[in-house]
Amino acid sequence: MSYFGTDGIRGKFGVFPITPEFALKLGFAAGKVLKRRTKRNKPIVVMGKDPRLSGYILEAALQSGLNAAGVYVHLLGPLPTPAIAHLTRALHASLGIVISASHNPYHDNGIKFFSSEGKKLPDEFQDEINAELEKDIVIDDIASLGKSVRVDDAPGRYIEFCKSTFPYHYDLNNLKIVVDCANGAAYNVGPAVFRELGAKVIAIHNEPNGLNINQGCGSTHPESLQAAVVEHQADLGIAFDGDADRVILVDQNGKLIDGDHILYILATQSANKPAGIVGTLMSNMALELALEKAEVPLIRAKVGDRYVLQGLEENGWVIGGEPSGHILTLDKSTTGDAIIAALQVLTVMVEQKKALHELVADFKLLPNVLVNVRLDAMFDPYSVPALAAEFANAEAQLKGRGRLLIRKSGTEPVIRVMVEGDNLQEVTALAHALADAVRANAAA
C-alpha cells in the first residue's frame, strides 16, 4: 500500500499514520532508501516544521529513525515549507523533510519530502519508502549510526534568499505593510524580509503557541487582515497560511487579492511578459479572458500544486498557481513560496509606481458559485445520461461567458458543482439546480 497522498502523508495527530511510532519507522525507511541511493557514507537530511505542538514529537521520532538508519539530520526548526526546499539545495543535502499540515487546524499534521533539488519527491522514491515500511527496523552496525545537529543560522539564510529575488535597485521604503503570519511557520522570517527591504511592517498573528495556527487568521481567514489594513491605513496586507507556501493579498481598501489576481498581475502588469501561465480547473474564467487579451497562453492543470508544477515543467514556463494563493515562480524558487510570490507583486508595484488596487483595476472576477453535494455513496455523475444532458445544456447556456465544472472530491464522498458566469443570479440558480439534480439521481 502507499502511505503518500498528493502532497505527502497527512492526517490527525495521534491517528495512524500520523503517530510517533509510524514517524520513527518512516524515518528509518526513508533513511535506508536514501543510503541505497546515495554515494555518501552518511547522507544528510534537512528537517523543518511549522509551530504545531505535535511537530516537536514527530520531529524527534523522524530524526531518531533517520539516525538509526545511519543518516545525519540537520534540524532547521520552525520555518516555511519553501525554506526547507531552498535549504535542502543550499546545504547540499540528499533529502528535505517538512513536518506541517499547511492550512489545516492545529490537530492535524503531515510529513512531506523534498528531493536534493528542492522539488517534490519522485514517485519511484516514494514507492521504495513504502516497500521499506513493510519491513522491521533492524540495526546492523551501531558504529554506522547517524546523529542530529541544529542549524542555528537557518532563518537568516532563508531571509537573505527571499530578499535576493527582489531587484537590488528597488526598495520598499515608501510602503506600509500589514503581514498576517497565521501564527505559523513564517511568524519570524516573514515580517523580517519586508522590514529589511525598507517597508514599515505591522505584524499580526505572529505569536504561535502550537495551538493557534490558522485559527481565525492567515490566508484562509483574512478578515482580520482586511480590517487591520484599513485601520492602519496601510498600503497593502499580506496573509500567509500555516506553512507559508500560500499567499493572499489585501489592497489599501481592504479588498481581497487572491491567486488569480496575482497571476494576472505577474502576467499582464510586469515589464517581463511570461511565455505562458499554468492555472487549474478552479482558475476563474476572468483570468482566461484577460490572458487571452494580453496574448499570454493559459493551460489549466488538475487542482493541486503538483499538477501546476508538472504543467510548467512540460512547457518550459515559470509562473503558475491556484486561486488559493499557491503561486509558483520557478525562476525564483523550486516550489510555491508565499514570501517570494508577494515580493514579485511588490516588484511590479514599485516598477510601475502603482498601488495594488491600480494593478487590478481592469480585472474583475466572474461570479462563481460552488455547491458541495455530500453523498452516502460516491458515483460518477457523467455516467448518468440524464445528468450528462443537464450539464451539456448548462454549458451551452453559458457558452462564451461562463463555464461549468463538476468534479468528485478526492478525499470525501462529495461532488462539487461549480458554475461561473457573468450574471450572479443566473449562476446561483444554475448551480443549485444542478446540485439538486445530482442529489436526486444519487437517491434514485
Model confidence pLDDT, tens digit, residues 190-241: 999 999 999 999 999 999 999 999 999 999 999 999 999 999 999 999 999 9
Nearest to 107 by CA among 184, 213, 264: 213
Task: Report how far residue 344's alpha carbon sits from residue 292's, in angstroms, rounded to the nearest whole number.
Answer: 22
The b-or-e profile of 364-398 (16+ CB within 10 A means b, else e) is ebbbbbebebebeeeeebeebeebeebbeebeeeb
How far apart, in Å, do the first and last CA atoms of the chain sit? 34
CA separation, residue 403 to residues 323, 330, 426 (Å): 16, 29, 12
pLDDT for 99: 98
pLDDT for 226: 98
Domains in the chain: ranges and CATH: 9-152 (3.40.120.10), 157-359 (3.40.120.10), 368-443 (3.30.310.50)
Nearest 5°: the CA angle 237, 234, 80 is 30
Segments in the chain below pLDDT 70: 410-411, 444
Give the active site residues. 102
Contacts of 270 (CB under 8 A, 6+ apart): 344, 347, 348, 351
Task: Report how far residue 285's alpha carbon sits from residue 288's, in angstroms, rounded to the nearest whole number.
Answer: 5
Task: Report how far residue 87's alpha carbon sits from residue 157's, in angstroms, rounded to the nearest whole number.
Answer: 8
Q: Is the pTM of this model over 0.95?
A: no
Over the stretch 257-302, which tens digit does the pLDDT of each residue have? 999 999 999 999 998 899 999 999 999 999 999 999 999 999 999 9
Q: Which residue has the cell 445528468?
A: 387
Cβ–Cβ under 8 Å, residues 342 and 366: no
pLDDT for 378: 85
